[in-house]
Structures are given as C-alpha cells and as structure tokens.
Homo-oligomer: A and B are copies of this chain.
Amino acid sequence: MKMRLILLFLVCFSPISFAKIPPRLFPSSLDDQLSSKGKLSYETNYFTQILDHFNYNNPQTFQQRYLLNDKYWGGSKNNAPIFVYTGNEGNIEWFTQNTGFMFEIAPHFNALLVFIEHRFYGKSIPYGGDKTIAYSNKTTLGYLSSTQALADYATLIIDLKNNLTAIDSPVVVFGGSYGGMLAAWFRLKYPHVTIGALASSAPILNFGNITSPYSFNNIITQDFKGESENCYKVIKGSWKQIEDMAKTKGGLEKLRKSFRICKNYISQGALENWLYTAFVYTAMTDYPTPSNFLNPLPAYPVKQMCKAIDDPKSGKDTFEKIYGAANIYYNYTGNATCFNLNDHSDPHGLAGWTWQACTEMVMPTDGNNKESIFPPSKWDYNERAQFCKSNFGVEPRPNWVTTEFGGYNIERVLKRFGSNIIFFNGLRDPWSGAGVLKDISKSIVAIVAKEGAHHVDLRWSSKEDPKWLKQVREREVNIISNWLSQYYQSLNEIY
C-alpha cells in the first residue's frame, strides 16, 4: 500500500492510492466558553480589488472582504498601530475566530485590527462572487496565487490607511500556517507597507529540496512514539492489517463495522485516508487545552489517542484500538453514530488550496521512511504533476516559490538583509520541520516551543495554558513593542 496525499494545511485528500474523498470536517463554531470571552467582535467590509496586479490586460476587479475592529484603536492622530492578519486558504471569519492573540493584545497596543480575506476564499470570490465560475477552470483560477494575494494586501492596506488618514500608523502583520508564510513574505517583499511580521508555524522551507520530504511524517511519528512506544507500534502495524482484511471476502464490511463507518460508502483507500487525516491533524493541533479549530478536541489529543490505544480494555483488537483513537478526533463530542466517508462538505471553504497545491504550493511532505508510523513511501513529484494535469490541466511550477520568495540558504541570504520577523514554531507540529528554527539575525528571530503545536501562540489564551506558552506570547509582545518603539523613534528623526 502506498500513501499518497496532497498534504494541505487544512484539508487533505489522496489523489492517487486512495479515493478522492476529503475527510469530514465538522462545522467549527467557536466555543465562547473555551476562548473568546466576549472579546471577539468585528465589522465586515469590502474593498474593490484589482484582479490582476501584474498585467494590464485585464481591468476586472472583485470585492475583497476584510474584518475590522477599531474598539481598541488609539486613532490616526496618535499614529496608533494597525495589526493586520494576512488571511489564508479559507473563510476569514474562521481564522479570525481562531486568532484570539490579536484581540487579546490589541488593548495593550491600542491597535486597530484588520483581518483580510485571501482572494478566492470565503466571500472574496472574483467573477461577481460566483464561486462556480471562479472555480470552473484554469483560466478563472489562474488569478489565485500567493503573489497576487500579497499585492492585494499591500493595495488594501495602503488604501485603508489613506482613508483613515493614518499614513504614519505602523502596520504589523500576523499570520499562521499559510497565513504565516504570507506574513513573512509580506514583510520581505513589502517593507514599505509593514514594519514587522509574526509568522506563526510558517513552513516557508517546505519547497524544492530544502526540507526532507520525510520530515513531516517523521514528526508525527515522533509525536505518537513520544507518548508511548506501544501506541506507535499499534498504529504502524494497523495499515497492513487493514490491507489484509480488505482483501478477504467480507473484509470491507468487517472494517465498516469496526470503525463505525456509515453504510453509504467504504473503500480501503477512503478508510485509510480517513485514519491518516485523524493522525495528521491531531498531531498538528496537539494543543495543551481543549480546542475547536478543525474538530472539537480535548487537551493534548495525541496523548488521548494513545491512551485509547493503550487502554487494556480494548484487548488485542487492533481495529478497536485504532477506532478508539479515531473517535477522539472525529467524535469527541460523542454525537456521531457513524462516520460518513463520502462527506464532501467544506465548511471553511478550503477547496481552492488544491489549485494552489497544483501550481505553486508544491510542498513535498509525504515521504515515509522505514520507521514512519505510516507505510513507507517516497515523495514523487511526477504523481503530483499527473494529478494536476488530469484535474486542472496545469503543470505545477515546483521551482516558483523558491524563485520568487527564496528559501535556500535562508540564513545566509537574510543575515544582512531584512529585519523584524518572528518565526514561531512548535516542535510537535509536523510543519515545524520546514520552519525557521534558528535566529537569523538580531531582528529575524525564531521562537521555538518544544511542546508547541500548529500556531498555538495565536490561539485565545486560557487559564490552563502552560507556562511555556505564556512565555512565548510575552516574548512576542515584547518584540513587537520594540519594533513599534523603534518605528516611533524613527518618525521623529529628520532626514
């Protein structure tokens, strides 16, 4: 069995070995008790954005959504700062709801909060907002790219500052995951628009051959192995057993029952994909407190999964053990009666990522070595290319991101170039292997949390937060304060 997934930040599916079924993502509504404590509020605005910034043969525009909170803003007269979230591959409301950090630090900084939606996601759909047209083919999807998105952010921010007569208000950008990549790149490409970037869990080195394609799954392996050797072994061994069982007569039906799969659909690939998804996203969101980002999850869900697997009650039945683990991810609320492998719902509007993964976001992540918790496999660019060709009729440009944004020898390149970027990474996050994990210069710094998961620093805080997390956030606040002080000082310097 080969496991081949276009591994996306938030949505994953298998183009090759498995059936093309995205995992079910439960509708994620923010749990106020867990997090926002009433601080979450924003108004919705739209900006008339240029569809093609780089050519002049297309006068089309589209309505780009951005969310605004001016409750804490110190105003333009005081040159109070503007904190901008550079939206990622989904509905901006969802990212906003899950970026409590910005709401929590805004009062301290008297900051205006702006969350800009990425083009082609949420309600920021070109072609009159008609997603059917926008997503219909490569001609219309052609305008969905990171460089266009960055130019959107620059254009919108400059216009907003003009409208607020806040020309001298410093802008700090924030982002997590792909949004973190965009935040870092935005600081590098648009230093005249932003004074600094907090790039959380931004795997900007997951391109070309900068990072090993085994890194991603190695970290997941380590996450589970670190909890319990038995847990790792059971998961690692389960794939062969599933394969063997599927081959037997009535085996699929047995698997269906073991994993409480709904009757409408099952295949070996879909089941494997469903399980793989659970392990990957549990590792990514292995937060120290209960969460509700992708699915409702308990604190330290990897530990909980391993607990289920190691539970003596489940005896020697591997499927029962694995089911127990999957149940943590898919059914923590306990409401599900069966799991639908044929669920194509996309509550956060993430579908455009497949296009991005087929053009510029070619991130080799699905290598599995002998020790991997998943079956051994190699990263194979040609499989991606084939999938993209058949799906969209496009050939990826695997070298484009490193051409446009760099990545190779990043320490050498940025040691004496650029400034004011924080790269946060949690080492439990499988993406962290492709993050910047060492300080590059005095002001391009890495904050690494051994026990951290995917952009854990950007979450709403909780009383239960461990000390290390509080310290990470404190350090981020201090660094941003320094950027601002330096900026305000420079305002008084005469050139």
Chain B residues near A299 (CB-CB < 8 A): none
Inter-chain contact B59/A395, CB cutoff 8 Å: yes
Chain B residues near A143 (CB-CB < 8 A): 55, 57
B-contact bits for A35-68, CB 8 A (1 contact / 0 none): 0000000000000001011111111000000000
Minimum Cβ distance to chain B for residue A122 (Å): 21
Inter-chain contact A191/B406, CB cutoff 8 Å: yes
Q: Tell me the nearest residue of chain B to A167, going by C-beta.
A: B408
Inter-chain contact A490/B59, CB cutoff 8 Å: no
Chain B residues near A408 (CB-CB < 8 A): 192
Which one of A151-159, A261-269, A316-324, A454-462 is at the interface?
A151-159
Our pick among B54, B400, B418, B486 for the contact of A145 (Cβ within 8 Å) is B54
Range class of the A interface residue count: 35 or more
Inter-chain contact B416/A417, CB cutoff 8 Å: no
Q: How far is the CA of A433 from the CA of B403 in the complex (A)?
A: 33
Inter-chain contact A419/B420, CB cutoff 8 Å: no
Q: How far is the CA of A397 from the CA of B56 in the complex (A)?
A: 9
Task: State how many copies of this chain the complex holds.
Answer: 2
Minimum Cβ distance to chain B for residue A361 (Å): 11
Inter-chain contact B191/A158, CB cutoff 8 Å: no
Q: Tell me the nearest residue of chain B to A137, going by C-beta.
A: B57
Given contacts A414-B191, A486-B416, contact A147 B54 (CB under 8 A): yes
Our pick among B141, B399, B411, B491 for the contact of A57 (Cβ within 8 Å) is B141
Inter-chain contact A399/B158, CB cutoff 8 Å: yes
Our pick among B55, B151, B402 for the contact of A403 (Cβ within 8 Å) is B151
Q: How far is the CA of A491 from the CA of B394 in the complex (A)?
A: 38
Inter-chain contact B404/A154, CB cutoff 8 Å: yes
Chain B residues near A411 (CB-CB < 8 A): 495
> Is A71 part of the contact surface with B, judged by Cβ < 8 Å?
no
Q: Tell me the nearest residue of chain B to A399, going by C-beta.
A: B158
Q: Tell me the nearest residue of chain B to A187, going by C-beta.
A: B417
> Is A132 part of the contact surface with B, judged by Cβ < 8 Å?
no
Inter-chain contact B139/A57, CB cutoff 8 Å: yes
| CB neighbors of B among A464-495 (8 A) | 486, 490-491, 493, 495
Our pick among B395, B405, B417 for the contact of A418 (Cβ within 8 Å) is B417
Inter-chain contact A412/B158, CB cutoff 8 Å: no
Sampled A-B contacts (30; CB under 8 Å): A52-B54, A52-B55, A53-B147, A53-B404, A55-B55, A55-B142, A55-B143, A55-B148, A56-B141, A57-B139, A57-B140, A57-B141, A59-B395, A151-B403, A151-B404, A158-B403, A190-B406, A191-B418, A192-B402, A192-B407, A192-B408, A192-B409, A193-B403, A412-B491, A412-B495, A416-B420, A416-B443, A416-B486, A417-B418, A438-B495
4 extra A-B contacts, CB within 8 A, seeds A55-B142, A56-B145: A56-B144, A56-B394, A57-B142, A154-B403
